[in-house]
């Protein structure tokens, strides 16, 4: 039987692989010839150009493969094993598209496509520095080859069902993935993971060609920020999905897959801070190169951990036998990085040295320490079950109990540095400046702590096992950081106002526009503080669970939920059980919630549909847990989760701040000065 | 000014003293928070409140009996591990090699901190000694090429 579209997809992947191989070898050969002034049979620069074009063409080829898979999903081509296992006829259109990344093979294809897409843009925008872009493009081609090899030999998305005869209908998409955020969460996350390949390729390329100066960092800064933004969005969308879909009342469970995304995010954050030392002061060049190497390797390591089955994860769909491929790839990357650094690293010499211990430079060092320790702890906790199995003979649990005790103090240290760092000047900070900058934030910390204690957050009556103390410290520190950021804005805006006669708001906007990077960064810090305050709220979470008949109620911290009815319904996709609950707060009805429990026919999987009443103070989160088989009545679990909305607001501010930081700053405008008549003649005319 | 600093320091000290004040947690709650319900709900034993859980109720009763019998915390935890397997612990808490799980992160942080102090001192010392390095001829050629490339 003929299967034209799957064959087209297979062929496209093979072509993409061949083009990438050509881009790697032709690129490497031409760059070697140019660097060593060696004469080749063909002109080296033209050969380099063909490598660039092959890289561009590889994106077109892999796009064809992606098109073929999406086409197969939309045309219900169940002769393709992947489509059979991840779609069915009645699946909604958006989810048919998202089936592309709902399984191992599809998600690797998405990875390869995004990587080639980044490479496509990089190769098109090579005018900033042709040679450096050629190095970066060649390194990217090497990474592309790995993913294409995987797709062609180990995780084939176009493999046909045994016998090649298509069943009448597919087995459907995992029900947990049938949620709007799942249509955008994986692409965002992958854009983040994959994106670190670009600064990695530039860093390695710059090291290979002994690139002087900081220009490669200027070129990659936007790439890194955009990548970081995608990863941030991806992680936060995943958090929101876990919160809204999984029905356990939380948004972060320290699952290995979640940890895998956090590790490169922390590394990338450290890199974004650390490169400023290199840009402004010509310091930490070797460190920065290794930081981006490690960040890239962490994104690969995370994928290895979760896809190899080495550590167990709730994301079971992703486990397979491709771990060995990732181990080999990781080993090659580590070897290439080490070898290149040993050969070429000697030109990375610092141009300046520390002038004072109390300076922005030293705060960046501590910031890097805390971020990288956090990243290490996540890796350590993820790998510890494996380690304990080797040593103790049994896998230990390393979950929220462990991470909350180890990561929270580290997080608070980071929050502290978020406040302190921007208040310190480059080179040296005088005692007078420290007094001027730190008095208000310190007062804010103390006043907030006392106010919280007055309003009932009493560490000595803590019934949340340390959570209350941490929450108090976090919110108080957060208030200090917000005060520091606000006073920085106001101080700068005040200066602009005296210069321009604009009002304070307009002055603050102009100030931000003049130095988008700095003030965008402050906004990001502000967003992170808001996010931390939202997380601190989890110390005060409460929950109750009851079986509920008609008129039965649950009471929780001033809320009362009364069961109005419970029933069942069916449609083509699923059967559902639901309950209608009237919600009262302080005796007044505020809303009606309808938590559901669905059972999908095609995949034979259940799904909990959580009902949430969300306010700035707290989320009332209601889950239909199931039915008591003896009475037929629903079992309802209610969570009261304070400050959850602050997390999503904080993320929004972080995204906004990142956009601001990406905007080019306003160039200084030269002011026209009225020259008195005859003055030009006095100084020698206009061309003097 | 010194007086003000002293007052702030005093206030901090008072706050810190309060932070260290004893909590009202019972032994039952404390140990219960170190165990996980083994029914698959992934809840901390003391917080597991789902209707009809086959495990949490009997386990909490068992824990209460052990505490009343005067058993030490390690002995209780070991007994639970023997009965339900190591997955019953919410974290590596068995002592021995498990201590490493807790020590390593903070050891890394402390060693890193010491490393930074060392680097800062070294850089600071170099500031007085280092003279600006003369640009290497190759680098100058490279800079020239970059200028050409980027024009």
Strand, coil or helix: what is A249?
coil
Buried b (16+ CB within 10 A) or exposed e, A463-500: ebbbbbbbbbbbbbbbbbbbbbbebbbeebbeebbeee
Give B101→chain A minimum CA distance, Å: 7
pLDDT tens track for A376-413: 999 999 999 889 888 888 778 888 889 988 999 999 99
Of the two residues B132 and A494, the one the predictor is more confident about is: A494
Residues 6+ apart with CB under 8 A from A263: A298, A299, A301, A302, A375, A378, A379
Q: What is the mean pLDDT of chain A?
A: 88
Q: Which two structure tokens, joined as six digits, stand for A398?
A: 């390393």
pLDDT (mean) for A139-163: 93
B133 pLDDT more than 70: no
Kindly report the nearest CA distance between residue A425 and chain B, in angstroms. 16
Q: What pLDDT, in 10s, does the model give residues A548-563?
A: 999 999 999 889 999 9
- Residue of B49, B91, B150 with shortest CB distance to A397: B91
Q: Which of A254, A396, A463 to mutate to test the interface with B (most CBs of B within 10 A)?
A: A396
Is the pLDDT score of B75 beyond 50?
yes
In the numeric block, the tokens 């925008």 are attached to: A125
d(CA A74, CA A83): 9
Confidence at residue B128, expressed as pLDDT on a 0 to 100 scale: 63
Give A350's pLDDT tier (boundaries 50, 70, 90): confident
How far from chain centre, in Å, is Cα A502?
Answer: 38
Q: Is the pLDDT of residue A462 over 80?
A: no
Q: What is the pLDDT of residue A348?
A: 81
Examine the pLDDT at A604 and tell me if it is beyond 90.
no
A624-677 pLDDT, tens digit per residue, is 988 888 888 998 989 999 999 999 999 999 999 999 999 988 865 555 445 454
Using CB atoms within 10 Å of the CB of residue A425, give its burial: 0 to 12 exposed, 13 to 18 middle, 19+ buried: middle
Interface of B with A in 45-64 (CB under 8 A): 47, 49-52
Nearest CA in chain B to A358: B120
Contact B105 A376 (CB under 8 A): yes
Q: Is A396 in contact with B12 (Cβ distance < 8 A)? A: no
- Mean of the per-residue pLDDT values of chain B: 74
DSSP state of A586: T
Domains within chain B, CATH numbers bracketed: 24-94 (1.10.8.640), 98-150 (no CATH)
Q: Confidence class of residue A1 from pLDDT cuts 50, 70 and 90? A: low
pLDDT band for position A687 (50/70/90)?
very low
Question: What is the percent of chain A where pLDDT is above 90?
Answer: 54
Distances from the Cα of A249 to the Cα of A157, A541, A583, A648, B50, angstroms:
35, 9, 18, 15, 13
- What residue segments make up the domains of chain A, in order of their start? 1-160+170-177, 542-645
Mutation for A interface: B36, B83, B146, most A CBs within 10 A? B146
- Pairwise CA distance, residues A32 & A630, whole Å: 77
d(CA A30, CA A40): 8
Residue A156 pLDDT: 92
Window B:82-111, CB contacts with A under 8 Å:
85-87, 89-92, 94, 96-98, 101-102, 104-106, 108-109
Q: ipTM of this model?
A: 0.81
Size of interface A-B (CB pairs under 8 A): 168
Q: Is the pLDDT of residue A315 over 80?
A: no
Using CB atoms within 10 Å of the CB of residue A685, give its burial: 0 to 12 exposed, 13 to 18 middle, 19+ buried: exposed
Question: How many other C-beta atoms are found inside a 10 Å radius of the C-beta of residue A203?
Answer: 29
């Amino acid at each position: 039987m003929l299967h034209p579209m799957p064959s087209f997809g297979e062929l496209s992947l093979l072509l993409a692989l061949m083009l990438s191989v050509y881009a790697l070898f032709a690129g490497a050969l031409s760059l070697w010839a140019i660097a060593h002034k060696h004469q080749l049979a063909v002109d080296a620069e033209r050969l380099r150009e063909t490598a660039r074009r092959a890289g561009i063409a590889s994106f077109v080829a892999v796009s064809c493969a992606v098109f073929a898979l999406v086409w197969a999903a939309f045309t219900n081509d169940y002769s393709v094993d992947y489509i059979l296992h991840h779609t069915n006829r009645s699946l909604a259109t958006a989810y048919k598209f998202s089936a592309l990344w709902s399984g191992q093979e599809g998600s690797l294809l998405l990875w390869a496509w995004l990587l080639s897409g980044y490479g496509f843009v990089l190769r098109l925008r090579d005018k900033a520095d042709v040679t450096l872009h050629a190095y970066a493009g060649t390194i990217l081609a090497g990474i592309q080859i790995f993913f294409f090899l995987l797709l062609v030999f180990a995780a084939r998305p176009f493999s046909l069902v045994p016998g090649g005869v298509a069943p009448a209908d597919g087995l459907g998409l995992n029900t947990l993935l049938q949620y709007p955020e799942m249509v955008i969460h994986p692409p965002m996350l992958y854009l983040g993971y994959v994106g670190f390949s670009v600064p990695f390729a530039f860093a390695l390329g710059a090291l290979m060609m002994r690139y002087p100066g900081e220009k490669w960092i200027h070129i990659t800064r936007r790439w890194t920020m955009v990548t970081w933004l995608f990863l941030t969005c991806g992680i936060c969308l995943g958090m929101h999905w876990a919160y809204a879909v999984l029905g356990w009342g939380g948004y972060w469970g320290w699952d290995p897959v979640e940890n895998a995304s956090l590790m490169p995010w922390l590394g990338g954050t450290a890199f974004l801070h650390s490169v400023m030392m290199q840009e402004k002061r010509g310091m930490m060049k070797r460190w920065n190169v290794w930081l981006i190497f490690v960040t890239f390797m962490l994104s690969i390591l995370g994928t290895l951990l979760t896809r190899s089955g080495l550590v167990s994860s709730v994301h079971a769909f992703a486990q397979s036998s491709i771990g060995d491929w990732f181990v080999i790839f990781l080993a090659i990357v580590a070897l290439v990085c080490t070898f290149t650094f040993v050969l070429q690293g000697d030109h990375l010499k610092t141009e300046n040295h520390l002038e004072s211990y109390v300076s922005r430079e030293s705060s960046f060092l501590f910031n890097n320490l805390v971020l990288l320790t956090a990243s290490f702890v996540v890796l350590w906790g993820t790998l510890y079950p494996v380690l304990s199995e080797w040593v103790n003979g049994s896998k230990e649990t390393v979950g929220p109990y462990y991470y909350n005790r180890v990561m929270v103090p580290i997080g608070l240290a980071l929050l502290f540095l978020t406040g302190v760092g921007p208040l310190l000047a480059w080179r040296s900070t005088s005692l007078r400046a420290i007094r001027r900058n730190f008095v208000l934030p310190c007062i804010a910390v103390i006043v907030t702590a006392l106010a919280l204690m007055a309003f009932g957050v009493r560490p000595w009556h803590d019934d949340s096992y340390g959570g209350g103390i941490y929450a108090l410290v976090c919110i108080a520190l957060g208030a200090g950081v917000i005060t520091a950021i606000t006073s920085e804005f106001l101080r700068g805006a005040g200066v602009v106002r005296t210069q321009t006669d604009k009002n304070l708001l307009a002055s603050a906007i102009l100030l931000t526009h003049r130095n988008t990077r700095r003030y965008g960064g402050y906004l990001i810090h502000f967003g992170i503080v808001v996010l931390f305050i939202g997380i601190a709220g989890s110390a005060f979470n409460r929950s109750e669970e009851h079986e509920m008949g008609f008129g039965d109620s649950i009471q929780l911290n001033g809320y009362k939920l009364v069961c109005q009815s419970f029933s069942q319904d069916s449609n083509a996709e699923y059967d559902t059980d639901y309950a209608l609950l009237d919600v009262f707060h302080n005796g007044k009805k505020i809303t009606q919630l309808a938590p559901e429990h669905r059972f999908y026919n095609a995949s034979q999987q259940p799904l909990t549909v959580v009902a949430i009443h969300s306010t700035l103070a707290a989320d009332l989160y209601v889950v239909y847990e199931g039915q008591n088989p003896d009475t037929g009545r629903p079992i309802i679990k209610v969570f009261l989760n304070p400050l959850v909305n602050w997390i999503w607001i904080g993320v929004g501010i972080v995204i906004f701040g990142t956009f601001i930081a990406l905007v080019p700053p306003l160039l200084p405008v030269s002011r026209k000065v009225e020259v008195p008549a005859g003055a030009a003649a006095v100084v020698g005319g206009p061309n003097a | 000014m010194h007086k003000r600093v002293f007052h702030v320091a005093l206030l901090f000290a008072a706050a810190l003293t309060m932070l260290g004040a004893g909590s009202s947690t019972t032994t039952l709650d404390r140990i219960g928070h170190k165990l996980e319900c083994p029914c698959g709900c992934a809840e901390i034993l003391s917080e597991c409140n789902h209707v009809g859980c086959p495990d949490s109720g009997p386990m909490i009763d068992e824990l209460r009996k052990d505490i009343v019998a005067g058993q030490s915390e390690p002995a209780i935890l070991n007994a639970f591990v023997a009965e339900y397997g190591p997955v019953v612990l919410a974290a590596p808490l068995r002592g021995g090699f498990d201590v490493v799980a807790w020590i390593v992160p903070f050891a890394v942080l402390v060693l890193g901190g010491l490393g930074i102090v060392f680097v800062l001192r070294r850089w600071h010392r170099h500031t007085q000694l280092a003279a600006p390095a003369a640009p290497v001829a190759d680098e100058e050629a490279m800079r020239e090429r970059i200028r050409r490339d980027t024009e």
